[in-house]
Structure 1
Amino acid sequence: MSDQGPSTSMVVPASLREAMARFTTGVVALTVGGEHMHGMTANAFSSVSLEPPQVLCCVAHSAVMHKAITSERRFAVSIMGADQEGLARHFADKSRPLGPPQFASVDWRPGPHTGAPLLAGALAWLECELADSHDSGDHSIFIGSVLHSLSGPGRQGLLFFDGGFHAGVTAGP
């Protein structure tokens, strides 16, 4: 009898997707300004280090955002509140226009350090410079050095669980 667990050859994308759906995550909008202006809803985002300040996001090689980040080398993260589900759905919609037109109905301002759109009403914003990237399977893990961060007023965060959006706990002041 083996204690090694199930063979990885038995893991198929559908079962992995179903298993990972049971993991609650926060929801962010990744944005890039400049010539490759783009926005994308993501939940594969995490803090990496406080010293130096770094975060990571995982982006599919096939995503428009992948080319945007690798080309511009600067990006922003808007951490979304529970009242921003519509905005999260907008940036997840593959049928929305590309480039600047996708921001036409969105309230945002350019980040002072990156020029990337910072979405109004977010719980917090981070502006990052691409420090490193690692390819793994069909995604790249982008490590961003945080150039600037700012928190907005406390309210409920937007969570993603079991294929749907949910309201989280209320953030502090």
Structure 2
Amino acid sequence: MSMELDEFTQAMARVPGPVAVATTVDAEGRRWGFTGSSFSSLSLSPPLVLICLDKGASTHRAFVSAERFMINILAEEQAGLARRFATSGVDRFAAGGVEPLELGLPGIPEAAARVACTLHQVLDGGDHSILVGRVEAVHVGDRSPLVYCDRSFLGLVAPHAAERAAAR
């Protein structure tokens, strides 16, 4: 194959993606979380979503053995939270902003949306694991989502929730 890995990485950086913080609690009650931009809906029936997690991440073991997890789709003003949950070697929960929400999972109250899941399946995805979650609870906020593209956070230009509702 003549493709260079660096070129592939550059090309994939051009694909806009949602910014999400995934959270869970292990059997000992310890909270875990990471920032991910490889998040997507997968199925409507049953309702399934997926998020990808590097197999070398410090959070990997906690998530692949979790019974449940939450996907917090960050709002456009939450780039600081995204950075905090992407930083290694720190207590990502110490600065606050996370509390028990749907299904008792750690959630971000001001997120653009939250999706609480039971772990449905873990699939091999090369150097990542693909966590498939069966959606058990959803909360839709009124903020526009944060997007990651070309190695930068972007606010998504989207109508406010009230404008969306009035347009229906």
TM-score after normalising by structure 2: 0.88
Aligned partner letter, 2:156: G
2:66 corresponding residue in structure 1: 72
2: distance between equivalents of 1:27 and 1:136?
A: 20
Aligned partner letter, 1:15: E
Aligned partner letter, 2:141: G
Q: 1:111–1:127: 8 Å Cα contact kept in structure 2?
A: no
2: distance between equivalents of 1:15 and 1:74?
A: 36
For 1:135-171, what per-residue CA distance to the aligned partner results, in whole angstroms no more than 9, with x for missing partners? 1211111110001011112x32111010110110235
Tell whether 2:139 aligns with 1:150: yes
Deviation (angstroms), 1:108: 1.9
TM-score after normalising by structure 1: 0.85
Aligned to 1:67, what secondary structure does the other structure show? helix
Aligned partner letter, 1:51: S
Tell whether 2:93 aligns with 1:103: yes
For 1:44-67, what per-residue CA distance to the aligned partner results, in whole angstroms no more than 9, with x for missing partners? 000011111110011111112221
Q: 1:76–1:111: 8 Å Cα contact kept in structure 2?
A: no
Percentage identity across paired residues of the two chains: 35
Deviation (angstroms), 1:129: 0.7
Aligned partner letter, 2:11: A
2: distance between equivalents of 1:28 and 1:164?
A: 14
**Could you list the runs of 5+ residues in structure 2 that have no partner in the other structure?**
163-168
2:79 corresponding residue in structure 1: 85
Alignment of 1:115-154 (within 5 A): 115-153=104-142
1: distance between equivalents of 2:63 and 2:45?
A: 23
2: distance between equivalents of 1:149 and 1:26?
A: 16
Runs of 4+ in 1 over 4 A off after TM superposition: none
Q: 2:147–2:155: 8 Å Cα contact kept in structure 1?
A: yes
Aligned partner letter, 2:74: M
Q: 1:106–1:119: 8 Å Cα contact kept in structure 2?
A: no
2:152 corresponding residue in structure 1: 164
2: distance between equivalents of 1:112 and 1:23?
A: 30
CA root-mean-square deviation: 1.5
2: distance between equivalents of 1:47 and 1:166?
A: 21
2: distance between equivalents of 1:58 and 1:107?
A: 23
For 1:75-98, what per-residue CA distance to the aligned partner results, in whole angstroms no more than 9, with x for missing partners? 10001011101111100111323x
